[in-house]
Amino acid sequence: MSRRSAHVRVQRVREEHNQAQQRLATHRQSRRGRPERHRLPWLIGGGLLGGLALAILPPKRWAQAGALLLGGGARLMRSALGPALLGALWMNLADFPAAACATTPGDVSRAPPRVQRR
């Protein structure tokens, strides 16, 4: 294989990779944008369903659901994986503003970690 043909093949693969990344990014943006575009109906629907659940379910069931949820959360936090999972979730949900990430070029020690959204 000549150097020229290898270069052409690498360029072609890079172009295909870039096109695939763009298709994936547009698909991800459209999927993420759906709830944001329809935020008010989601809020109204969630409020109606929550009110309906409060009206129908007796307080004993709510107490059981709360005990199950919070008890499971407490058990998870006492386990070895709990803090790691909480940290991963926190870093995924954290949205660092641009001003918080701005430091002097040589000072990396005080900069918060940059999170790439997926």
Q: What are the sequence ranges of the domains in the chain?
A: 1-57, 66-95
| Biggest alpha carbon–alpha carbon distance for the chain | 77
Q: Which residue has the higher pLDDT, 36 or 104?
A: 36
The string of pLDDT tens digits covering residues 65-102 is: 899 989 988 888 888 888 888 888 888 887 655 545 55
Mean pLDDT calculated for residue range 23-40? 73
Angstrom distances, CA of residue 87 to CA of 11, 61, 73, 82, 109: 39, 31, 14, 9, 20
Q: Is residue 49 pLDDT above 90, yes or no?
A: yes
pTM: predicted TM-score of the whole model, two decimal places: 0.37
Q: What is the mean pLDDT of the chain?
A: 79
Q: Which residue has the higher pLDDT, 4 or 53?
A: 53
